[in-house]
Structure 1
Amino acid sequence: MKAAEKMEKCMNSNAAASASPAPRGYPIIAMPKTIRYDAHKEHPLVLVDIGGSSGGNGRSFTCDGCGCRGAGPRYRCGACDFDLHELCATAPGTAWFFFHGQHPLALELAVEDGGDGSPRHCDICEMDIHGMHYRCRPCGFDAHPVCLQLPGAAVSPLHPEHLVMLSVGGPEECTRCGADCVWRYRCGVCDVNLHPRCLLGTDETPLNIPRSN
């Protein structure tokens, strides 16, 4: 199913569910300093700040849970060089996304192909899925755990004049990369559209959504 078709199906279903909006994303909880993770039973994972003095090495990492890049606090096993986003380490079995309130999303650890042999991709950032993700089977909607935490409004260095708002609709040209985007951050005043992955303006900057306190 193409991204635009998925979007139309989801928006039609969401209209019926809009009277009782679901909670967004994950519940906000205090993060434990040490955890045990079922997929890495050899050692405990320790919460470290990758950019600070608490044990991080380097400024970015690839999450061994979802396969996405990250920066900032993470759970890490230094002995095995194993890293997890905070969100991925504590991801619940079901979650909600504020643009997809009609169904809960189920956590899946295995990656299936897109049905035609092509890689499955995240319907929000449009990048391939290489690990754990959330899925709505009735709608065929897939998302990285970190993408469910995208803020509804953001500031982009590419367009500092106004806030850009997360929105979804028919394909529009991304102001940064020129490719079509269905999910995008948009400034309606200036007709600026940015993929979530293009929001920060550089491929060297990980798309990392920090935990709210």
Structure 2
Amino acid sequence: MSNSENKAKTFAIIGFGKIGQALAKAFARKGIKVVVATTRDPESFAPDAAAIGPEIIPITLTDAVKADIIFLAVRFESHPDVAKALPTWEGKIIVDVTNAYGVPPEQMNGLPSAKFVAQAFTNAKLVKGFNHLGAAILEQDPAVLGGRRVVFLSSDDEGAAAEIAALAEDLGFAPVKLGGLSEGELLVQAHGKNWGHLIFQDLVKFKS
């Protein structure tokens, strides 16, 4: 998937807390339109969206899930509620930005959290990404000292990972693929009350 092909896609951010707004700022910075939604009436967060930029369009959850690529930026515990918005997520890419800190592994049947989330979004292609940075860092311009801020991606679908890597580049980040969910995700995800080794690592990639 080339960057130009990505421009034909539609994007949504579900969840408009600190992380959702940080993602919205990344889109606005590059002039890329993205719809945003929560379980609340869009009018309740429209002022916050307008403050970020005209590219950020508040709409209902029902309309937001029509997008091709959906950033899941809700609390981990809320993901099943979002998943109920569609009977099938066939043809869509879910970018899982959630963190399951404090959730007992047995509640996820011993699965990595992204694999557990993937089960709720029937037939979707899931990419874990953009979750290893706190909102205060994620919302900053990813151009740093001549380099680009790193975002880690992992997925069991190489095509989906390539699409999100192209989008990350469009947003100014340097995507680094970590492999499949059972391997790469473990580096950037909480396990109970323990964080993966790469979580919160603010890294910058420079051209060689």
TM-score w.r.t. structure 2 length?
Answer: 0.25
Identify the structure with the greater strand proportion: 1
TM-score, scaled to structure 1: 0.25
